[in-house]
Amino acid sequence: MNIPPKVTLIDVSARDGLQNEAEILTPAQRAELVQRVSAAGLPELEFGSFVSPKAVPQMAGADEVFKTAVRNPAVRYHGLVPNMRGYENAVAAGVTDVRLVVAASAPLHEANFRRTIDESLADHTQIVARAKQDGVHIEAVIGGSFGDPFVGRTPVSAVMHCVDHYYAIGVRDISVADTVGMGTPKQVAEVITTIQRTYPDVTLGTHFHDTRNTGFANVITALDLGVLRHDASLGGTGGCPFAPKAGGNICLEDLVQMLYGMGVDTGIDLDGLIESARWLQGVLGKPLPSRMLKAGPVYPVFKPVSATPAAASS
């Protein structure tokens, strides 16, 4: 088992974690979330997405979140962008780290972005050209890389169609996303090794959801293959109140706890992170999936789990 000494975790709670919540947080609340997460030592985070506020009211005012949050110069603040209009709004707000988003599977892509995959990719070609002039860093996020709720499993070739495009236009940072939590470790290994063999100079990242409890198995599989960048969400937020079958992102503090248990450095203050997860749980007014909020950490400081374990446990 290949366990790296250090990995980079990217919190997506202020974007993917909140975009489907029934409770709509104000830009000021989201700015506080962003500040709390960066204060806990996250090296990177997504602060929001530049999409239509009509389509996703939860993300309205992403520019305000970016501008009002007290930013740490050592932290990278990513704005998610689906199209040129979103890119222009992000850059106008001063954003220098942009994540372009596409879906590998046509039905999922078209339902999300109301245009074809190739229309998005053509648009992204123009964005990448503009970003070079603007000095903006681009990372591509390929949603639905493992499955699409409308048609099932995503073939590796569909993921590679997007990867090929981004590589050809000069993007070297690519993240594969399991938007609906349909991926398995075997599939993760197939997608990742295909990209690694085809483009050894691409820096890969992952974005897993825990819809079907496979998130941590998927992330450990990617880790074992040398992938060192992983998205996760404070509190395990995510999921959609209008789609009861949707599930949240993998839980950031639970992932930090597992990594610390294996001696992997993330630079993150686990106790501070848990405190912020508790704050977020209060703001959202409902229990979050986080196991750290329930069971507490084992590492780095061991804390007793229970004073009276049940009899005859195993």
3-state secondary structure (DSSP) of residue 233 = strand
What residues numbered 90-109 form the site for a second copy, per CB under 8 A?
Answer: 99, 101, 103, 108
Strand partners, 240: 243
State the alpha helices, DSSP H only, in the chain. 27-39, 62-68, 84-92, 106-113, 117-134, 156-168, 185-198, 215-224, 252-261, 270-284
27 contacts a second copy (rule: CB under 8 A): no
Q: How far is the CB of 230 from a second copy (least distance, A)?
A: 13
Q: Of 36-65, which residues contact a second copy (CB under 8 A)?
A: 49, 51-52, 55-56, 59
For the bound state, the minimum distance from the C-beta of residue 252 to a second copy, rounded and expressed in Å, comes to 11
3 binding a second copy? (CB under 8 A):
yes
Q: Which residues of 22-40 are buried (b: 16+ CB within 10 A; e: fewer)?
A: eeebebebbbbbbbbbbeb
Task: Evaluate whether 174 touches 205 at the Cβ level (below 8 Å).
Answer: yes
Nearest-approach distance from CB 192 to a second copy, in angstroms: 10
* 240 catalytically annotated: yes
Q: Which amino acid is at 44?
A: E
Query: Which of 38, 120, 154, 187 forms a contact with a second copy (CB under 8 A)?
Result: 187
Q: Smallest distance from the beta carbon of 93 to a second copy, in angstroms?
A: 17
Q: Find the shortest distance in angstroms from Cβ 295 to a second copy.
A: 5
Residues between 128 and 147 that touch a second copy (CB under 8 A) = 141, 143, 147
**Span 202-221, contacts to a second copy by CB under 8 A:** 207, 210-217, 219-221
Considering beta carbons, is residue 167 or 260 the nearer one to a second copy?
260
Our CB check for a second copy shows the closer of 72 and 224 to be 224
SS3 210: coil
Using CB under 8 A, pick the residue from 70, 122, 168, 262 that binds a second copy. Answer: 262
- Smallest gap, in angstroms, from Cβ of residue 183 to a second copy? 8
Among 13, 19, 237, 266, which residue sits at the site for a second copy (rule: CB under 8 A)?
19
Q: How far apart are CA 214 and CA 222, in angstroms?
A: 12
Answer for which of 263, 265, 286, 300 binds a second copy (CB under 8 A) is 263
Size of interface with a second copy, in residues (CB under 8 A): 85
Give the residue with the Cβ less far from a second copy, 35 or 161: 161
Return the number of the residue (101 or 121) whose C-beta is nearest a second copy: 101
Beta bridge partners of 231: 10, 207
Query: Which candidate in 39, 240, 246, 283 is catalytic?
Result: 240
- Residue 82 binds a second copy (CB under 8 A): yes
Rounded CA gap, 167 and 112, in Å?
23
Handedness of CA 223, 229, 233, 239 (dihedral sign): negative
CB atoms under 10 Å from CB of 272, counted, come to: 15
DSSP 115-175: S-HHHHHHHHHHHHHHHHHHT-EEEEEEETSSEETTTEEPPHHHHHHHHHHHHHTT--EEE
Which positions are annotated as active-site residues? 240
